[in-house]
Structure 1
């Protein structure tokens, strides 16, 4: 086995999207080869309704897949194909935009006004850029959760892990999307196939990633299970950790435990022509998409 090193750790950056939604962007609109097949990752988390209620009105997508995971509140969605629905806390929607779709996403807070969710964009290979759009809506109760003897919990949203398989299937990047909770002070190793690009995103608590076994580093004053814990390179809330090559990721949870997403996928290794919510392979394909938007032929007839 070979441990994946941490090649980059960075904080998500505040930004505004849609009609004024305040969110944090972990990556996106930069070098798309870094985390190929993934293009963008947003953390939309607010406690003030005025920061999210205007939502994401009608906008187009082509050539990508969008993965929306709701933790608190809800998201109403509708599209140009007549689909409508609401994602509640714990639900996931995997939308394959393919040849083109117009849709809107309107967030709502819970009883305390809180809204929290994530959106990940996955690229589609050239052979599937113009495939028919489709949705996979998955409710929280249908997402398997595995609990290990040490209290580690993993929700398996996509892919297979610890003998369980997530309900979302048929995704081009053959991804693995896990919601991981590790108790205070516990050190845990997770297998990831070597051919995948991988990243973690911490959204609760803190932890050290990669080789957390060395005693040198920051001595945390708080004790865990009656023992002081030494942890290096502690990564806290809203932190992206990008991993190098290998087949294992090791994490040691901090004194308050940690919850993070662990996401990996097979790189597509194709050229990218990208403008906003449209991602194609060539500039001519991108120009054609813009022409289709202007002349009303963006939505392709069903075959």
Structure 2
């Protein structure tokens, strides 16, 4: 499948800006959505080209409204990474403790063989939030692995220059998130006019970024809300903050070698893994709904994996 065919023509334009050195912007999109919630990557379209990055939502609004509107739902076969670019939320987990996740912090969940979640984060110290939720397709050896959930406040994360290293290793800094190898995911803020070159590790031919605030100037120009896809080579990604600066997430990775096997809430590396994951989800559902209300005093409901 060609990347040209997976993005609707009304929301995509090819970049004609070719940097003098480094990787080229080959496509851009604003996704689909309404209000402050936009689907930028889906497993059935752009995720096929950017795997292991198979899903990305940009979301914003009032956290209490998100919490009341959302419901428990299942996943299997993926890892989810949630970061916040504005505001903060609270986590309250009997295994992980309590704290707040704002800019620089992260929630990581490896769904593996099956999990129900959706209410583990509640309102924090700010009314409004903006963030990104990313799904990573797990390698075949982890697609049915034990569920894992990690929460890190910003103070527990590490920076390399202007980038928080959310997943992977960059600039001599390694994230504490227990994500699969071969993936980098960074949260970056550039000042107006600040230039920054990201040099992906060898083999990270998948590369993209999504802008949360401000703009980028130069060859990789972009405005708030855009997702840029870079050419599939090992070159540097050269970036420059626009007149108001820029805050964005950036991903690079070794390409996921497997076809994607899709369920409604699941993405697996094998058909057998998908079938097993969906059976596990149904079994967990029956157990979960016999437990009744599991909400904690903070408003959070811990994830459930049996």
**TM norm structure 2:** 0.75
Q: Which runs of 5+ in 2 are unaligned?
A: 1-19, 288-303
Instruction: Look up the SS of the partner of 2:144 in the other structure.
Output: coil
1:133 aligns with 2:147: yes
In structure 1, what is the equivalent of residue 246 of structure 2? 258
Q: Does structure 1 conserve the Cα–Cα contact (< 8 Å) formed by 2:57 and 2:133?
A: yes
Counterpart selection for 1:13 from 5, 8, 32: 32
Structure 2 distance, partners of 1:285, 1:298, is: 20
**TM norm structure 1:** 0.76
Runs of 4+ in 1 over 6 A off after TM superposition: 81-84, 297-302
Structure 2 distance, partners of 1:255, 1:59, is: 41
Deviation, 1:234, is 3.2
Instruction: Look up the SS of the partner of 1:57 in the other structure.
Output: coil
In structure 1, what is the equivalent of residue 293 of structure 2? none
In structure 2, what is the equivalent of residue 179 of structure 1? 187
Q: Which runs of 5+ in 1 are unaligned?
A: 17-21, 148-152, 213-232
Deviation, 1:102, is 1.4
Q: Does structure 1 conserve the Cα–Cα contact (< 8 Å) formed by 2:193 and 2:243?
A: yes
In structure 1, what is the equivalent of residue 38 of structure 2? 24
1:238 aligns with 2:225: yes
Q: Does structure 2 conserve the Cα–Cα contact (< 8 Å) formed by 1:63 and 1:100?
A: yes
Aligned length: 266
Q: CA RMSD in A?
A: 3.1
| Cα distance change of structure 1 residues 132 and 296 upon mapping to structure 2, 3 Å threshold | closer
Q: Does structure 1 conserve the Cα–Cα contact (< 8 Å) formed by 2:209 and 2:229?
A: yes
Deviation, 1:164, is 2.4
Higher helix share: 2
Larger radius of gyration: 1
Instruction: Look up the SS of the partner of 1:3 in the other structure.
Output: coil
In structure 1, what is the equivalent of residue 54 of structure 2? 39
Structure 1 distance, partners of 2:59, 2:260, is: 26
Counterpart selection for 1:268 from 236, 256, 262: 256
Please list the CA deviations of residues 119-160 of structure 1 after superposition, one character each: whole Å capped at 9, or x if unmatched: 10000111211111112221110112344xxxxx22122222
Instruction: Look up the SS of the partner of 1:54 in the other structure.
Output: helix
Deviation, 1:57, is 1.7
Higher strand share: 1
In structure 2, what is the equivalent of residue 143 of structure 1? 157
Q: Does structure 1 conserve the Cα–Cα contact (< 8 Å) formed by 2:114 and 2:305?
A: no
Deviation, 1:272, is 1.5
Structure 1 distance, partners of 2:126, 2:280, is: 42
